Amino acid sequence: MEATAKPTEISSTKMFDGYNKRFNHFSTVLGCSMNFHIYFPPAPSPSHKFPVLYWLSGLTCTDENFITKSGAQRAASREGIALIVPDTSPRGLNVEGESDSWDFGVGAGFYLNATQDKWKNWQMYDYVVKELPALIQANFPQLDISQASLSGHSMGGHGALTIYLKNLDKYKSVSAFAPILNPINCPWGQKAFSNYLGEDKASWEEYDATVLASKCNKVSGTILIDQGTEDKFLKEQLLPHKFADACKDATVPLLLRMQPGYDHSYYFIATFIDDHILHHAKALNLKTSL
């Protein structure tokens, strides 16, 4: 896929000797203007190239939530990993009904390629997997997209896991916080998939981590998932036991950590984000400091 026009830098803030930078560009895949963040760690030399960790955020989030709330930059600076944080859906298209509910439409792209005509611009899978990496490669020579990993939260955890399982040759590792693991069997997923993909439930399975894991036998690295036991969405929406069973049956390496007392919030993410950065640093063959 050809890269889109050069992105415009709209903000820059120093943090842990690196920089949070926010950019805007026009996405040809989504048909609208999009923002994304990159955290650039401090470079040991002008020619140094950093591996990248894509972070996919959850329902109602933008490219800003993770950057402002997670505290991931401390570990990313220390380990030498650039953080790339896209938005969660197209914005500004004024599609009828796009903002009627918080769990569908704007802020709820579900990292899939919609097939229903009304939602034809909701192509977040292609944006994350194809367009954004091409844009990064064309405009940021200090970043090495051939050395890439994925992480995310809730809807973004769903995105990270499904993208990873569908593209094992592209990504070195994956992790997630409180991911939606079996969307074809939960209300959030059923609402999104029926609207974006229509009633052909076979097409839904292409974006369901539990189904994908059950068919997968090539995963070499361990999948890391943290899930809070006091998460109010745990039983109805997230269904980690379904994914764990699928991984066990398919011998997919999984470390599912049930964290006592934690909820669905960024307080939870901030508590364990360093573990996830280290998980990816090891997979990216970086010399970890811990």
Structurally, the chain folds into a number of domains equal to: 1
Does a structural domain hold residue 3?
no
Q: Are 266 and 65 in contact (CB under 8 A)?
A: yes
Question: Does some domain include residue 2?
Answer: no
CATH number at residue 101: 3.40.50.1820
List the pLDDT tens digit at each of the 290 positions of the chain: 444 579 999 999 999 999 999 999 999 999 999 999 999 999 999 999 999 999 999 999 999 999 999 999 999 999 999 999 999 999 999 999 999 999 999 999 999 999 999 999 999 999 999 999 999 999 999 999 999 999 999 999 999 999 999 999 999 999 999 999 999 999 999 999 999 999 999 999 999 999 999 998 788 899 999 999 999 999 999 999 999 999 999 999 999 999 999 999 999 999 999 999 999 999 998 766 54
CA atoms of 75 and 270, how far apart (whole Å): 11
pTM above 0.85, yes or no: yes
For residue 290, the model assigns a pLDDT of 46
| pLDDT for residue 1 | 46
Is position 161 within any domain?
Answer: yes
Segments forming the whole domain that contains residue 94: 8-283
- Domain assignment present for residue 12? The answer is yes
Active site residues: 154, 231, 264
User: What pLDDT shows up at residue 95?
Assistant: 97
- Residue 289 placed within a domain: no
Q: Has residue 290 been placed in a domain?
A: no
The answer to whether 89 and 122 have CB atoms below 8 angstroms apart is: yes
Q: Which residues pair with 228 in a beta bridge?
A: 259
